[in-house]
Amino acid sequence: MQQTLKRWQNGPYMTIGLVAINLIIFLIMSVDGGTENTQTLLRYGAVFKPAILQNGEWWRLVSGMFIHIGMTHIVMNMVTLYFVGIQIENLFGHFKFIFLYFLAGIFGNLASLVLGNPLALSAGASGAIFGLFGVWLMLGESFRNNPYIRLMARQLGLFVVLALVSSFWQPGIDIYAHVAGVLAGFLGGYVVGIPQIGKVENSKRWIAGLVLVALVAACFWVLITKSAF
């Protein structure tokens, strides 16, 4: 019993839990109007700028991370989340992983609100998932002498570049959320640190934290200022 409990505590239960929640919400939406129905998306909490700025529904910055539009969207995101998530959760631990995931997802949605189409619906875990890629880039910069981390960072870095470039030719892709997610994950990785692998310089942690706070504050300032007019 103790071994089973220890195995569960050491396992990627945050990643598995996130995948399960996303799939459950997708199934519920599928039978309650459809995941591609605009009204259903709005009712379940998709990111929609007028609803946030005019009605004060800031909770959509979080709920939008758990809503997906169509089967391809949910399958691609959940497969990626599972395989990348279990690695980040294993390296950083459960609570740092979940912090980085939500940080990237929320900041991605904020950036989308500031820079994206003001009348477009936005949904999905892509910003948070791209944040996990950003964490790997941080690891590659900080621990480049580790051959495994260096290889993974290079491979995922190439994938991120190709994914972002291809986003410009694919309709319906929220490029701003993706870019902001990568940035938040990259900076957030420095902030939380990873003593299991090695020490991250305090100067880098402070600079990353200050830049991250400044970016989040700037986004909120722009949005609140706009909503006042």
pLDDT tens by residue, 184-220: 999 999 999 988 888 888 999 999 999 999 999 999 8
Could you tell me the pTM of the whole model? 0.91
d(CA 202, CA 204): 5
pLDDT at 164 over 80: no
Residue with the bigger pLDDT between 159 and 52: it is: 52
Which CATH number is associated with domain 2-227?
1.20.1540.10
d(CA 228, CA 108): 22
Q: What is the pLDDT of residue 6?
A: 53
Could you report how far apart the first and last alpha carbons of the chain are, in Å?
A: 60
178 has catalytic annotation? yes
- String of DSSP letters for 90-116: HHH-HHHHHHHHHHHHHHHHHHHHHHS
Q: Where are the domains of the chain?
A: 2-227
Q: Quick one: CA torsion of 12, 14, 15, 20, rounded to 10 degrees?
A: 120
- Indicate the pLDDT class of residue 117, thresholds 50, 70 and 90: confident
- Indicate the pLDDT class of residue 5, thresholds 50, 70 and 90: very low
Instruction: Give the rounded percent of residues in the chain with a pLDDT score beyond 70.
Output: 92
Residue in the structure block whose two tokens are 């259903």 = 40
Active-site hit among 126, 142, 203, 227: 126
Q: What is the pLDDT of residue 155?
A: 83
Q: What is the mean pLDDT of the chain?
A: 89
Residue in the structure block whose two tokens are 């919400």 = 25
d(CA 175, CA 160): 11
pLDDT at 1 over 50: no
pLDDT at 8 over 60: no
126 has catalytic annotation? yes
What number of other Cβ atoms are within 10 A of residue 26's Cβ?
21
pLDDT tens by residue, 76-114: 999 999 999 999 999 999 999 999 999 999 999 999 999
- String of DSSP letters for 8-30: HHHS-HHHHHHHHHHHHHHHHHH
DSSP symbol at 65? G
Q: What is the pLDDT of residue 171?
A: 66
